[in-house]
Amino acid sequence: MKKTLLLASGNPHKFEEFRRLFPEGVGLEMASPDTFFPPEDRETYFGNAFLKANACFPAPGRLILADDSGLEVDALDGRPGVLSSRFAGAGASSLMNCQALVREMKTVPPEKRTARFRCVLVLLDGDSGRLTGAVQGVVEGRLTRGILGEGGFGYDPLFVPEGYQVSFGILPSSVKDRISHRARAVFNLLTLLERLPA
């Protein structure tokens, strides 16, 4: 599989995670630092990912990959969802978002702390701008009562994946790279890439 993907993101943490997830033969480049990404104001993960992908068009000879992901908390009717990166307000840091979620979930009992991470990936043809495909990945789990661990990013220190006893903030990247929402979305994307003409 000889493909070159341009990741529509300026987030180095995200780039490193994607680079670990893709096998040899799939080249990955990060968007130019001067790329202007519009506000992620769509109501769906797909809409936000599509916005980011379009911001990198054209990209001759490459496929443009963009993602949007979020944490969906059952006790909060699916929030923060598409607003995950802005849960504590515009420009909020990951720590601020985590702290805001801990406060909002303070009185929620253990049996009602179920949640999931969802990732949607969008692929555009860098020459034509045509939508090549879209896939998603989901990992179920539950929320802790406080921040556990310093690994990962975003809400990782609050999320314990199903079948485990510690958060993504503690689990090694080798485990996260097998079971995370982004890992599962990439697995589905690789299936899509295999079907594309060389």
Where does residue 185 rank: exposed (0-12), middle (13-18), buried (19+ CB within 10 A)? buried
Q: Is 12 annotated as a binding-site member?
A: yes
**CA atoms of 103 and 187, how far apart (whole Å):** 34
Q: Is 181 annotated as a binding-site member?
A: yes
Q: Is 14 annotated as a binding-site member?
A: yes
**CA atoms of 182 and 195, how far apart (whole Å):** 20
Q: Please calculate the CA angle 89-95-101 and round it to the nearest 5 degrees.
A: 65
Q: Is 155 annotated as a binding-site member?
A: yes
Where does residue 151 rank: exposed (0-12), middle (13-18), buried (19+ CB within 10 A)? middle
Q: Is 93 annotated as a binding-site member?
A: no
Q: Is 9 annotated as a binding-site member?
A: yes
3-state DSSP call for residue 162? coil
Q: Is 34 annotated as a binding-site member?
A: no
Q: Is 13 annotated as a binding-site member?
A: yes
Q: Is 33 annotated as a binding-site member?
A: no
Q: Which two tokens stand for residue 89?
A: 């307000």
Query: Catalytic: 34?
Result: no
Strand-pair category, 63-73 with 3-7: parallel
Single out the catalytic residue among 68, 74, 77, 177.
68
Q: Is 54 annotated as a binding-site member?
A: no
Q: Is 182 annotated as a binding-site member?
A: yes
Q: Tell me the three-class secondary structure of 14-80, residue by residue.
A: HHHHHHHHCCCCEEEEECCCCCCCCCCCCCCHHHHHHHHHHHCCCCCCCEEEEEEEEEEEHHHCCCE
Q: Is 97 annotated as a binding-site member?
A: no
Q: Which two tokens stand for residue 72?
A: 């969906």
Annotated binding site for Mg(2+): 68
Annotated binding site for substrate: 9-14, 69, 153-156, 176, 181-182
Annotated binding site: 9-14, 68-69, 153-156, 176, 181-182
Annotated catalytic residues are 68
